[in-house]
Amino acid sequence: MSLDKLRKSLAASPIVKMGDYDYFVNPISDGVPSLDPSVLTEVIECMKEVGDFECDLIVAPESMGIPLAVPLSMDLGIPYSIIRKKSYGLPGEVQIDQVTGYSKSKMYINGVCKGNKVTIVDSVVSSGGTLAAVVQGIRSIGAEIVDILVVIEKGGGRRRLENELGVRIKSLIKVEVTSKGVKIID
């Protein structure tokens, strides 16, 4: 799949500074500006093509994993669970520490059980902080990770996680971000 609409959307992304961090703002990664449904459709179709969905559950971190998990769940008939930034105090809730290139926070896994086979989806892997916490949290529960899919790969976080955690992460598109803009790397 060509992902032409996603490529055009990424090329038009504004860059903002978060401390020393060059951050691109895109509907897939941030929900602003508004997301053209045809871009989301293109992304979901590509994820279904390359992903392994022989799983019991699709798991996505809040917030930008949500618009990926919902249509995948609906199209494939697989339940989904969102890793939230808010604790509900439910039995079996697992707290994880998310550390990204520009923030630190706690997240909470609910609805994932020992023995579940899960596919993780998210919008971006950059530093790898979110995915590292998610993978470790899911493993601590005793669930099996079948696949990890991200739309956009930025920086070296993907390779670092693959080496450190022994996982394979599939990305649909790789970008380089500088203060001048987003460059698609193929």
pLDDT at residue number 130: 92
pLDDT at residue number 179: 82
Taking only the tens of pLDDT, the chain with its 186 residues reads 689 999 999 999 999 988 887 889 999 999 999 999 999 999 999 999 999 999 999 999 998 999 999 999 999 999 999 999 999 999 999 999 977 666 788 999 999 999 999 999 999 998 888 999 999 999 999 999 999 999 999 988 899 999 999 999 999 999 999 888 999 997
pLDDT at residue number 98: 79
Distance (Å, rounded) from C-alpha 56 to C-alpha 44? Answer: 18
Burial pattern 138-169, b for ≥16 Cβ within 10 A else e, equals: beeeebebbbbbbbbbbbebbeebeeebebeb
Domains located in the chain, CATH noted: 4-185 (3.40.50.2020)
Distance (Å, rounded) from C-alpha 169 to C-alpha 122? Answer: 11
pLDDT at residue number 102: 65
Q: Which amino acid is at 58?
A: I
In this structure, what token pair is assigned to residue 29?
Answer: 């990664």
CB atoms near residue 88 (< 10 Å): 8
